[in-house]
Amino acid sequence: MLKVATDRNGVARVTLDRPERHNAFDEALIAELDARFRQFAAQPPRAVVLAGAGQSFCAGADADWMRRAAGWGEAENRADAQALSDMLAAIDSCPAPVIAVAHGAVMGGGVGLLACADLVVAHPEARFAFPEVRLGITPATISPFVVRAIGPRAARRWFLTAERFGTAEALAMGLVHAVSETPGSVAEGWIAALLSNAPGAVAEAKRLVRDIAGKPVDDALRAETAARIATCRASAEGQEGLAAFLEKRPPAWARTP
């Protein structure tokens, strides 16, 4: 259900591999993704590329999974939803930058995956939707990640209507960062940029955005961010970066794709 390969530069490539089901989620795929990204938290790669095999990136929930869930009680459904939320949180909090490459159908939970990624590129023919209300449910589990990514105003539109939308709308609301006929080449360009950067600093920059987003710019926040840059400057990476700059050489962490 999940293919994983890591190249010589430490870039992990994770592929959802249920093409016959358009990479739709079930319990097993959710558990595999969660376990893999927990491993990445313990031993971070330089970057993670998340893609889907076959015609679609991820078509949301698997029909057989939903059929099983229909017969569960509230406790079982709560545990199942929590497992999905935990998996999304593992991707969202991954120390390594996560690049999602989207194509084909990107529905429901598939959009949730994009919302948890740091960089997203989509093929022009990719199509997106939150179809949950048509099934009498809501996109509750993915909502914290999606609303943060696209904002509450856009979420009201697309959560309520369940309409499909394309890459123009996805780009405008910030769900995707780039649209390309060759999304893989865009991802490789991002990887090249990331491999030039200090991995520890990249992880810290990711935490920085998460930690300061939405906070008022007050004395406490300014003191916190001043302390953070001081820590970075004194770190081994900070010292190596400065030395490399002054000596006009590549830093020790630089890699060529």
Closest CA to 90 of 111, 105, 112: 112
d(CA 134, CA 64): 17
**Token code pair at residue 59:** 């078509």
Closest CA to 121 of 54, 88, 167, 165: 167
- At residue 151, the pLDDT reads 97
- At residue 67, the pLDDT reads 80
Q: Which residue has the higher pLDDT, 78 or 163?
A: 163
The DSSP 8-state label assigned to residue 95 in this structure reads S
Interacting residues of 30 by C-beta distance below 8 A, sequence separation 6+: 83, 84, 87
d(CA 174, CA 49): 19
The pLDDT confidence band at residue 63, using thresholds 50, 70 and 90, is confident
**Token code pair at residue 24:** 């739709």
The DSSP 8-state label assigned to residue 42 in this structure reads H
Structural contact between residues 23 and 56, judged by C-beta atoms closer than 8 angstroms: yes
> What residues form DSSP beta bridges with 47?
11
Q: Which residue has the higher pLDDT, 69 or 95?
A: 95
d(CA 174, CA 169): 9
The pLDDT confidence band at residue 65, using thresholds 50, 70 and 90, is confident
Q: Is the pLDDT confidence value at 169 over 80?
A: yes
- At residue 71, the pLDDT reads 81
Q: Is the pLDDT confidence value at 192 over 90?
A: yes
Amino acid at 105: A
Q: Is the pLDDT confidence value at 57 over 80?
A: yes
Backbone φ, ψ for residue 52 (5° rounding): -125, 140
Percentage of residues in the chain having pLDDT higher than 90: 91
The pLDDT confidence band at residue 257, using thresholds 50, 70 and 90, is confident
Domains and CATH numbers, the chain: 2-193 (3.90.226.10), 198-246 (no CATH)
The pLDDT confidence band at residue 109, using thresholds 50, 70 and 90, is very high
Instruction: Tell me how far CA of residue 33 lies from CA of 48, 115, 252, in angstroms.
Output: 12, 15, 31
- At residue 70, the pLDDT reads 74
Structural contact between residues 132 and 82, judged by C-beta atoms closer than 8 angstroms: no
The DSSP 8-state label assigned to residue 54 in this structure reads T
Number of helical (H) and strand (E) elements in the chain, helices listed first: 11, 8
Residues 217, 174, 47, 211, Cα dihedral to 10°:
20
